[in-house]
Chain A
Amino acid sequence: MGIYKEEAIVLRSMAYGETDRILTLFTRGAGKVAAIAKGVRKPSSRLRGAVQLFSHTHLVLYAGRTLDTITQGDADETFGFIEQDLDRLAAASCFTELIDRLTMDKQPLPKLFQLLLAALRSLEGADPDLLGRIFEAKLLAALGYQPQLDGCVMGHHDGWQAPASGVVDVGPVWFSIERGGVLCPDCAASCSGALPLSPATVAVLAYFLRTPLDRAVRARVEQRSRSELASFLRSFITYHGDVRPRSWQFAGACKDKAKLATDGVLTPPA
């Protein structure tokens, strides 16, 4: 491969040796790439600004056996607003950690690159919590794990549809995380571990899956559906992706101000 140019987003950055950093990059054309940025921790480094965490950047790399070497770089967008707010930092970390842990090295996934870029751009104005749910839903779809919401996932009850949101007294919609879709009442009764979801939550998930991200972030979603969707998507990702990102815990702690206070952090000791 020799020397190549790529548009990339920095997913992870780890100090290495005296002055280097090892980066995990998500590139538009080559997928996830591990690369070394030499001397980048020195103030005089020309590369330093181009390889900051979460940056959208254009790089020139030299392919190596295990690590590629970054030789030139120019940052397009650095998303400086992320460091101004812990909720946004937590959300951006969740996006990048999920992509890092759910994708294989050097597997081109240009649609996923576009999704991550759109999510980072939207983070400035959008609700980080809601954007997280939209990102998770679209990430599952892009990786081939899209939850099936049309018809019973068991497939032998033709014509059955999950009840629409807003219908009174329809009861919950049953969902099988293991099988990856909704269940008709008959199948739900015989399926162990079927999860009850409110029709409104299923409708929100369906809306997120079919609507472009920049429009979906404008949706107004009730708190109950938000909580249910967050819990559902995390269970789904943990089961099918076999990952439990550390950023989730941080994001939870940011929301749980009471927990931070008991840790002696938010409420200064008397």
Chain B
Amino acid sequence: MFLYPEPLAALVESLRKLPGIGPKTAQRLALYLLHAPAIEAEGIAHSILEAREKIFLCSVCGNFTDVDPCVLCQDVSRDQSLVCVVESPRDIIAFERTRDFRGLYHVLHGVLSPIDGIGPSDLKIAELLQRVQGGSVKEVILALNPNVEGGATSVYLSQLLKPLNLRVTRIAHGLPVGGDLEFADTATLSRSFLGRQEL
């Protein structure tokens, strides 16, 4: 039976380790990299190495950065009294796209998940508590995904934060813009009633 030469087999095996990449996709990507101009393949390899070398977690908010503190934490025009707690750095990008939030962020790098063995000590919770006790933070906005793990993490964080005399809020739950009421599920509809606003 024909097998790939060792360096190619090693490349396929390495690519298979990436999330969402199965054996066939790994094989296709590996062959593409061999067919592509050498400069392109070298560029990809260089980008991976450079990112690994230069990117680290911001010592203040836990976001990915190449300077410490990150550009968001250094920005004095942002409201230093507001901290928005998110699950992952990707959520910061989503909020920044709205251009509506001008406070600071804190990345937990996960949520509580007993089935996955993720407990409080696996998240950046101690760092959050230390950060908000400086006195400049007045409000913590919990912006975790509206699912069971996100909800439980929010409740847990609020129990820890409220005794510190902070305003603790959670982003609204309810109907998506452009959605149809007819197709909304009962849990979303119930929460949309609870979070109704006066006009």
A and B form one complex: yes
Minimum CB–CB distance from B48 to chain A (whole Å) comes to: 21
Q: Does B120 contact A (CB under 8 A)?
A: yes
Main secondary structure of the interface of B (DSSP, over half): helix
* Cα separation A44 to B133 with both chains bound (whole Å): 38
Write out the residue numbers on chain A whose beta carbons fall within 8 Å of the beta carbon of B164.
Answer: 268
Minimum CB–CB distance from B60 to chain A (whole Å) comes to: 15
* Cα separation A90 to B156 with both chains bound (whole Å): 13
User: Would you call A75 and B155 a contact (CB within 8 A)?
Assistant: no
Chain B residues with CB under 8 Å of chain A are 20, 112-117, 119-121, 125-126, 129-130, 133, 147-152, 154-156, 160, 164, 176, 178-179, 183-188
Which one of B115, B120, B155, B185 lies within 8 Å of A260 (CB-CB)? B120
* Cα separation A44 to B183 with both chains bound (whole Å): 10
Subset of 6 A-B contacts with CB under 8 Å = A16-B20, A49-B187, A83-B152, A97-B114, A246-B114, A265-B121
Q: Does A84 contact B (CB under 8 A)?
A: yes
Which one of A52, A53, A265 lies within 8 Å of B160 (CB-CB)? A265
Write out the residue numbers on chain B whose beta carbons fall within 8 Å of the beta carbon of A78.
Answer: 186-187
* Cα separation A24 to B114 with both chains bound (whole Å): 16
Minimum CB–CB distance from A163 to chain B (whole Å) comes to: 37
Write out the residue numbers on chain B whose beta carbons fall within 8 Å of the beta carbon of A85.
Answer: 152, 155
Write out the residue numbers on chain B whose beta carbons fall within 8 Å of the beta carbon of A255.
Answer: none
Minimum CB–CB distance from B159 to chain A (whole Å) comes to: 9
Report if A249-B185 is in contact (Cβ < 8 Å); known contacts: A17-B20, A53-B149, A83-B155.
Answer: no
Report if A89-B148 is in contact (Cβ < 8 Å); known contacts: A16-B20, A263-B120, A265-B160.
Answer: yes
- Chain A contact-residue range equals 35 or more
User: Would you call B129 and A269 a contact (CB within 8 A)?
Assistant: yes
Which one of A46, A96, A269 lies within 8 Å of B115 (CB-CB)? A96
Report if A268-B160 is in contact (Cβ < 8 Å); known contacts: A52-B148, A247-B114.
Answer: yes
User: Would you call B179 and A266 a contact (CB within 8 A)?
Assistant: no
Which one of A43, A48, A84, A94 lies within 8 Å of B114 (CB-CB)? A94
Chain A residues with CB under 8 Å of chain B are 12-13, 16-17, 43-44, 46, 48-50, 52-54, 74-75, 78, 80, 82-86, 89-90, 93-94, 96-97, 246-247, 249-251, 253, 260, 263-266, 268-269
Write out the residue numbers on chain B whose beta carbons fall within 8 Å of the beta carbon of A48.
Answer: 185, 188
User: Would you call A46 and B183 a contact (CB within 8 A)?
Assistant: yes
Minimum CB–CB distance from A147 to chain B (whole Å) comes to: 26
Write out the residue numbers on chain B whose beta carbons fall within 8 Å of the beta carbon of A86.
Answer: 112, 152, 155-156
Report if A44-B121 is in contact (Cβ < 8 Å); known contacts: A52-B147, A96-B115, A246-B115.
Answer: no
Q: A89-B112, A250-B112, A268-B133 are in contact. List 11 more A-B contacts (CB 8 A).
A: A53-B147, A75-B185, A82-B148, A83-B148, A83-B152, A84-B151, A84-B155, A97-B115, A247-B114, A265-B120, A265-B129
Write out the residue numbers on chain A whose beta carbons fall within 8 Å of the beta carbon of B176.
Answer: 43-44
Report if A263-B121 is in contact (Cβ < 8 Å); known contacts: A43-B179, A83-B152.
Answer: yes
Question: Who on chain A is nearest to B185 by CB?
Answer: A49
Write out the residue numbers on chain A whose beta carbons fall within 8 Å of the beta carbon of B112.
Answer: 86, 89, 250
Minimum CB–CB distance from B54 to chain A (whole Å) comes to: 27
* Interface core residue of B113, B114, B129, B152 (most chain A CB under 10 Å): B114
Write out the residue numbers on chain B whose beta carbons fall within 8 Å of the beta carbon of A17.
Answer: 20
User: Would you call B117 and A246 a contact (CB within 8 A)?
Assistant: yes
Write out the residue numbers on chain B whose beta carbons fall within 8 Å of the beta carbon of A54.
Answer: 148
* Cα separation A90 to B118 with both chains bound (whole Å): 11
Write out the residue numbers on chain B whose beta carbons fall within 8 Å of the beta carbon of A53.
Answer: 147-149
* Cα separation A250 to B154 with both chains bound (whole Å): 17
Question: Who on chain A is nearest to B153 by CB?
Answer: A83
Write out the residue numbers on chain B whose beta carbons fall within 8 Å of the beta carbon of A13.
Answer: 147
User: Would you call B130 and A269 a contact (CB within 8 A)?
Assistant: yes
Question: Who on chain A is nearest to B117 by CB?
Answer: A246
User: Would you call B115 and A12 a contact (CB within 8 A)?
Assistant: yes
* Cα separation A50 to B117 with both chains bound (whole Å): 25
Minimum CB–CB distance from B128 to chain A (whole Å) comes to: 10
User: Would you call A250 and B119 a contact (CB within 8 A)?
Assistant: yes
